[in-house]
């Protein structure tokens, strides 16, 4: 029983880290934008959010660290997308009008 609680706690701590990474208005905006299309570049997000590239890149770094976003390099360009359907569904749930 104790092993179950320890394993469950580790699982829940991991999920909590994902939620913490998402819990920022700029990151939610990035995720909302990416949930509406297949992938995007930092320059697209910079224009949409009217923020410096360095700011957007820092937020993308947080999301990538937690496995929420993934990047695909094509030459000098990096295209970001949401890592999996579970995250996409969570974003849609969080951002839907109640």
Confidence class for position 96, pLDDT limits 50, 70, 90: confident
CA distance 45 to 60: 10
Question: Quick one: how far is CA 21 from the chain centroid?
Answer: 7
Structure-block tokens of residue 34: 């990416």
Residue 2, pLDDT > 60, answer: no
The tally of domains found in the chain comes to 1
| CA angle (8, 65, 79) in 5-degree steps | 130
Residue 66, pLDDT > 90, answer: yes
Radius of gyration of the chain (CA): 15
Give the model's pLDDT for residue 6.
Answer: 65
Residue 53 belongs to what domain range?
2-95
In CATH, what number is assigned to the domain containing residue 89? 1.10.10.10
Name every residue whose Cβ is closer than 8 Å to that of residue 43 and which is 6 or more positions away in sequence: 53
Q: What is the pLDDT of residues 8-19, one digit of tens each?
A: 888 889 999 999
Check the CA dihedral 33-73-82-13 and report its sign: negative
pLDDT value at 30 more than 70: yes
């Amino acid at each position: 029983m104790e092993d179950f609680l320890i394993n469950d706690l580790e699982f829940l701590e991991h999920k909590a880290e994902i939620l913490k990474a998402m819990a920022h208005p700029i990151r939610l905006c990035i995720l909302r934008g990416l949930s509406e299309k297949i992938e995007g570049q930092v320059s697209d997000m910079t224009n949409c959010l009217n923020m410096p590239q360095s700011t957007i890149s820092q937020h993308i770094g947080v999301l990538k660290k937690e496995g929420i976003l993934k990047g695909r390099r094509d030459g000098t360009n990096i295209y970001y997308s949401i890592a999996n359907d579970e995250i996409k569904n969570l974003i849609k749930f969080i951002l839907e009008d109640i």
